[in-house]
Amino acid sequence: MKNKNNVIKIGGSLLFTEKRTIDSEKIIAFSKIFKSSENPGTHIIICGGGLIAREYIDAVRSFEGSEALCDIFGIEISRINSKLIIASLKNLAYPQVPKSIEELSTAMLFNKIIVMGGLQPGQSTTSVALEVAEFTGAKELVILTDVPGIYDKDPKKFDDAILLRHLTFDQLQELILKNSDNKQAAAGEYRIFDAVSLQVLKRSNIKVIILSGKDLNEFKKYWNGEKDILGTIISND
Ligand code: UTP
Contact 175, 150 (CB under 8 A): yes
Strand partners, 141: 7, 208
pLDDT of residue 34: 92
Ligand 1: residues with CB < 6 A are 11-13, 48-50, 53, 70-71, 74-75, 78, 118-121, 123-126, 128, 145, 187-188, 190, 192
Distance CA 154, CA 173 (A): 16
Contact 122, 143 (CB under 8 A): no
Q: How many angstroms does the Cα of residue 123 sit away from the middle of ligand 1?
A: 7
Q: Tell me the best of 46, 51, 55, 125 to mutate to test the pocket of ligand 1, counting ligand atoms within 8 Å of each CB and taking the most.
A: 125
Strand 166-167 vs strand 140-145: parallel, antiparallel, or unpaired?
unpaired
Q: How many angstroms does the Cα of residue 237 sit away from the middle of ligand 1?
A: 28
pLDDT of residue 190: 54
Strand partners, 209: 142, 233
Q: Tell me the best of 99, 119, 124 to mutate to test the pocket of ligand 1, counting ligand atoms within 8 Å of each CB and taking the most.
A: 124
Distances (CA, A) of 98 to 73, 123, 190: 17, 17, 22
7-234: CATH, from 3.40.1160.10, 3.40.50.300, 3.10.620.30, 3.30.70.270: 3.40.1160.10
Within 8 A by CB and 6+ apart from 49, the residues are 12, 74, 75, 77, 78, 81, 117, 118, 125, 188
pLDDT of residue 1: 46
Order of strands across the sheet that contains 166-167? 114-116, 43-47, 6-10, 140-145, 207-212, 232-234, 166-167
Within 8 A by CB and 6+ apart from 218, the residues are 148, 211, 212, 229, 230, 231
Question: What is the mean pLDDT for each group of 10 consecutive residues in the chain (237 residues)?
Answer: 80 94 96 90 95 96 97 98 98 97 97 97 96 96 94 87 94 82 57 84 95 94 93 93
pLDDT of residue 175: 86
- Number of other CB atoms surrounding residue 48 within 10 Å: 28
Contact 190, 126 (CB under 8 A): yes
pLDDT of residue 149: 93
Nearest CA to ligand 1 atom 13: 11
Q: How many angstroms does the Cα of residue 190 sit away from the middle of ligand 1?
A: 7
pLDDT of residue 39: 86
pLDDT of residue 211: 96
Cα torsion 128, 69, 175, 7 to 10°: value is 10
Contact 21, 100 (CB under 8 A): no
